[in-house]
Amino acid sequence: MTDRALADLAYDMLSRSYVPYSKFPVGAALLCADGTVFTGCNVENAAYGSTICAERTALVKAVSEGHRDDFVKLAIVGNCSDFCAPCGACRQMLYEFAPNLELLLGREDREFIKTSLSDLFPMGFGPKSLN
């Protein structure tokens, strides 16, 4: 799958976001090594701490379907002027499963940049930290 195709799947998720409070929709698309893609959108809640981000939605869907150690790339996009990067909680959740995950960060004009989770989250705490 091309980077553009993965980003487009994430952009398709923006319309599914439930964001009555922040008005900040985010979409995500997580690519697995076998070509399977799991998408997600952010889902807000009146009890703000119960809100779930798009990238965690995609990750939890993937794990619930049996994927755990085969994540290749994640596109995260938003209707914003800057590139949409994952929050700290999402960085931690993603690091648990794929510390070297490639990221595509998109903005409202459908442009995106490439980076990696390890660049955004150096010295992350994960399963190997417990050894």
30: which strand partners? 38, 74
Active site residue 55: yes
Catalytic residue among 44, 55, 96, 108: 55
Q: Are the beta carbons of 105 and 87 closer than 8 angstroms?
A: no
Residue positions annotated with a catalytic role:
55
